[in-house]
Amino acid sequence: MFNQTQLYAIDNVIHTNLIESGLDHVIFMDMAGNTIAKHDNGKSHLDSTAFAALAAGNFAAVDAMAKLVGESEFSLLFHRGEKSSIHFSKVNDETILITMFNKDISLGLVRLKVTETIKKINTILAND
């Protein structure tokens, strides 16, 4: 579980590293689809509860596919749409970070910022 200090620090890292970098929506969740933290740019109208549940199922399905092709896991998923894209990253064995962004943000920037954010979240979680 997370304590209040960890949750506050995770919220701060997500907001500073991702939302302030121009991403539209970020969800930090557990593998069961429970939202731990969520942020948006104020323009999003996403049902994050439903989205997190669907994302957990998606991540589990892809994990099963990885096993079928001989991989232990696929720790990163990416879906590109015409207007929006979704980037899924495994933070640790128990959590996923999902970022949503529009076509004006490059995938390279997202991957860089997500990698930095995951390192910071894991540091926060290690310092309980």
Domains defined along the chain, listed by start: 4-126 (3.30.450.30)
Q: How confident is the model at residue 63, as a pLDDT? A: 87
- Between helices 4-17 and 107-126, what is the axis angle to 10°? 160
Sheet containing strand 25-30, edge to edge, reads 35-40, 25-30, 95-102, 84-92, 76-80
The secondary structure of residue 33, as a DSSP letter, is: S
Q: Bridge partners of 27?
A: 38, 98
Q: What would the pLDDT profile of 83-124 be if each residue is shown by its tens digit? A: 999 999 999 989 999 999 999 999 899 999 999 999 999 999
Q: Is the pLDDT confidence value at 128 over 80?
A: no
For residue 79, what are the contacts with CB-CB under 8 A and spacing of at least 6? 85, 86
Query: Higher model confidence: residue 123 or residue 63?
Result: 123
For residue 73, what are the contacts with CB-CB under 8 A and spacing of at least 6? 63, 66, 90
Instruction: From 22, 29, 25, select the one nearest 58 (Cα to Cα).
Output: 29
Q: How confident is the model at residue 1, as a pLDDT? A: 77
Q: What would the pLDDT profile of 13-55 be if each residue is shown by its tens digit? A: 999 999 999 999 999 999 999 999 999 988 878 888 899 999 9
Q: What would the pLDDT profile of 4-15 be if each residue is shown by its tens digit? A: 999 999 999 999
Instruction: From 9, 10, 58, select the one nearest 33 (Cα to Cα).
Output: 58
In this structure, are residues 114 and 100 in contact, taking their beta carbons and an 8 Å threshold? Answer: no
d(CA 44, CA 70): 38
Q: How confident is the model at residue 105, as a pLDDT? A: 92
